[in-house]
């Protein structure tokens, strides 16, 4: 193994949340971000229906399944996701028309929660990466507006950058409550934050 890759692996293995996720059986350290945000906003409720965009490898779906026992959960990702009990999965790009149609039909056109932990493939250019992830967040918000029930919740990852204002304005135009939040389990050096939106403004 190359020295750089070895250093990266050593650093990751030492990292607190990575170790914790392995110990507790979560597939990703991201699971702790969702647990933390649910503690703060208390939105994952029993019997709810939930769409998990960018679900692979499955940490958020694992947390959702525990918190909303009895509900209906669908993960969507361009990468494969190994089976999680009581979680359904569609492999594909959530921006594609046929995938959107499948999502709509799965939930019978109404869902309580839309999560998006989607991050665009990294190019090495941080501004471009944050812009591309921002664009995906806007598309996820678009889908959320169409499919969420009136008091529904949309929670999405974004990276602070030039597209942030557009996302924030869009969120405020479409949801009554909009809160930006950086979980403690999100790396301090990362520009990642989350936007929590609740109660769709009906026109």
Ligand X SMILES: C[S@@+](CC[C@H](N)C(=O)[O-])C[C@H]1O[C@@H](n2cnc3c(N)ncnc32)[C@H](O)[C@@H]1O
Among 20, 78, 135, 193, contact with ligand X (rule: CB under 6 A): 78
Cis-peptide, bond into residue 57, ω within 30° of zero:
yes
The question of whether 157 is a catalytic residue gets the answer yes
**Residue 154 found at the interface with ligand X (CB under 6 A):** no
CA 125 from chain center: how many Å? 22
**Residue 159 found at the interface with ligand X (CB under 6 A):** no
Among 17, 32, 60, 159, contact with ligand X (rule: CB under 6 A): 60
Burial label for 186, CB within 10 Å (0-12, 13-18, 19+), is buried
- Token representation of residue 146: 């169409």
Q: What is the DSSP letter of 68?
A: T
Tell me the window of 15-23, 25-33, 145-153, 169-177 that interacts with ligand X (CB under 6 A): 25-33
What kind and span of H or E run contains 196? strand 192-200
**Residue 56 found at the interface with ligand X (CB under 6 A):** yes
**Dist. CA 84–CA 173, nearest whole Å:** 36
CB of 83 to ligand X, least distance (A): 14
Tell me the window of 35-43, 64-72, 89-97, 102-110 that interacts with ligand X (CB under 6 A): 89-97
Residues engaged in binding ligand X (CB under 6 A): 27-28, 30-31, 54-60, 76-79, 93-95, 117-120, 136
């Amino acid at each position: 193994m190359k020295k750089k890759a070895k250093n990266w692996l050593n650093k990751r293995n030492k990292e607190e949340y990575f170790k914790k996720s392995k110990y507790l059986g979560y597939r990703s350290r991201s699971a702790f971000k969702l647990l933390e945000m649910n503690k703060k906003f208390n939105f994952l409720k029993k019997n709810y229906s939930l769409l998990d965009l960018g679900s692979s490898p499955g940490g958020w779906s694992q947390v959702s399944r525990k918190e909303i026992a009895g509900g209906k959960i669908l993960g969507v990702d361009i990468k494969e996701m190994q089976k999680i009990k009581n979680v359904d999965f569609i492999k594909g790009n959530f921006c594609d028309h046929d995938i959107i149609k499948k999502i709509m039909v799965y939930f019978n056109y109404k869902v309580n929660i839309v999560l998006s932990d989607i991050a665009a493939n990294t190019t090495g250019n941080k501004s471009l990466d944050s812009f591309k992830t921002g664009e995906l967040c806007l598309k996820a918000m678009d889908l959320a507006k169409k499919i969420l029930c009136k008091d529904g919740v949309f929670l999405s990852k974004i990276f602070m950058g030039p597209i942030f204002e557009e996302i924030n304005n869009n969120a405020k135009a479409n949801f009554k409550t909009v809160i930006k939040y950086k979980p403690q389990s999100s790396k301090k050096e990362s520009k990642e934050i989350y936007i929590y939106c609740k109660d769709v403004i009906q026109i």
